[in-house]
Amino acid sequence: MKKQKGSNPKRDLTMKRFGWVVLGIQALFSALSIYAIIDANVLPTRYLLIAMGVIVLLLILMGLWVMKTKGFASRIISLILSIVILLGTIYVMNASGFIGGVTGGSTNTHVINVLVLDESPAKNISDVKDEQFGVNTQQEQETANRAVTLIKEKDNIDISIKAYSDYETMIDDLYDGTVKVIIMSEGNMSLMDEIDENFTSNVRIIASYKYEEEVVQRDTRPDVLKETYSIFLSGIDTYGPVSTVSRSDVNMIITVNPKTNQILLTSIPRDYFVTLASRGAKDKLTHAGLYGVEESMNTLENLLDIDIDFYVRVNFSSVTDIVDALGGVEVYTKYNFITLPEHGGYRFTAGNNSVNGAQALSFVRERYNLPNGDNDRVYHQQQLVQGILNKAMSPSIITRFSSVLNSVSGSLQMSFSESELTSIIRHQVDSMESWDIQQVQLTGTGSSGVTYSMPGRNLYIMIPNQDSVNRASSLIHQMEKGEVVQVTD
């Protein structure tokens, strides 16, 4: 019997084997993709079934095409699909890894810095090992104790401490050469601009040491899909890990009612003169962050007579990247104003303004060119958070999800568990419902006074307006009762 024209048994066998190989690759990547989607646990059941169905259907259709044809076209298409599925799998796994990385936050990171004058020849800890190390033991006895231990453990150097009772004397001694090296926590370094605005440019860090302490978790946790819960949003400005103990420059309570789809944003000025929960002494709210995120939470709970269930810490200097990753957001202001030149000199008009990242950061930093100073600044911070929430909860987030994750990588930490956060995401994807966002601000009157963290020195403080405190507390309690609130000016 004659062979059919064009038939080549050897070639046909090779193509058949090649077909089985490419189908095997597609099947493997399809299985990995399905596993990654299920493991991510962010898709509602119906979308999960649709995604799995599409992946399996593509595999079946490609299998039929490959088996019925002998050409390269079907094999190449199968390989291309495999690459696409693989890239999708990597995307899902990265998103899942990000969620796991930012949730379950349970540590305060303490950073201890060894400082010398900027013109000092010292380059490292060994260069100053024979010097006395100045420390304000009145405020930082724990820092001194930890520094002695950590420097011995890490560098095998026994240091000698020169104790000070205030920062001013210690800094003066550093400047005039009485002491060559000082030790200070990262958090308290941020206080120095209230003493000497040039301090950070006059000194240089030659060594840093870190240690971590567990954040005390709440005894009970609400059902985030059924019960109203409150989140403390702490915006810090530090170059270390977002868990670094530092002043909290942005302090906001986000109260969420998942049943009524309502969110209440409650902002508290950073300089609010409050009683620190664990110290029983008066201080600025921003200074509470120096003693850990739980200190800020407990202090605000006492001030407002409420329970705060979770916290989110964000490095607010990353706001530029977040807003740009979202493709810009809209913010509202009551005023026409221009930000200071050092903040970009941006012009804003009364009403809604579309802003990019740099403009958004300038918008929330400005206070001097606003009629109500700090009170207007916290209002603008709320407007930015609302703008980010509106964009993040819109369908457009789907195409920007990866870039948003990259923008907050390393600058976000939250006490939600991974399962709590994924259930919130899954619910929002399933419903795609809009949210009613209400805002309230605590107000006060500017003054000056002595604070716990900076004894013996008058600093700018804000005396709380108790009526505004009572109003905010009442609104949060209404939310907790399941009521829909309406904030009026």
Q: What is the pTM of this model?
A: 0.86
Give yes or no for a contact between 373 and 315, defined as CB atoms under 8 angstroms apart. no
Question: What is residue 317's predicted lDDT score, i.e. its pLDDT?
Answer: 65
Give yes or no for a contact between 264 and 186, defined as CB atoms under 8 angstroms apart. no
Q: Top-level CATH class of 229-480?
A: alpha beta
Edge to edge, the sheet with strand 181-185 lists 160-164, 132-136, 181-185, 107-117, 203-214
The backbone region for 61, taken as left when phi is positive above 0, alpha when psi lies in -120 to 50, beta otherwise, is alpha
Question: What is residue 30's predicted lDDT score, i.e. its pLDDT?
Answer: 94
Give yes or no for a contact between 26 and 82, defined as CB atoms under 8 angstroms apart. yes
Question: Could you read off the pLDDT tens digit of each residue along the chain, which spans 489 residues?
Answer: 444 555 678 777 888 888 899 999 999 999 999 999 998 888 888 888 999 999 999 999 999 998 888 888 888 999 999 999 998 888 788 777 778 877 877 788 999 999 999 999 999 999 999 999 999 999 999 999 999 999 999 999 999 999 999 999 999 999 999 999 999 998 898 888 778 889 989 999 999 999 999 887 777 899 999 999 999 999 986 666 788 888 998 999 999 999 999 999 999 999 999 999 999 999 999 999 999 999 999 999 999 999 999 999 988 667 888 898 889 999 999 999 999 998 899 999 999 999 999 999 999 989 999 999 888 999 999 999 999 988 888 777 666 766 777 777 777 889 999 899 889 988 888 888 889 999 999 999 999 999 999 988 899 999 999 999 999 999 999 999 999 999 987
Of 171, 29, 136, which is closest to residue 86 (Cα–Cα)? 29
Domain 109-212 sits in CATH at 3.40.190.10
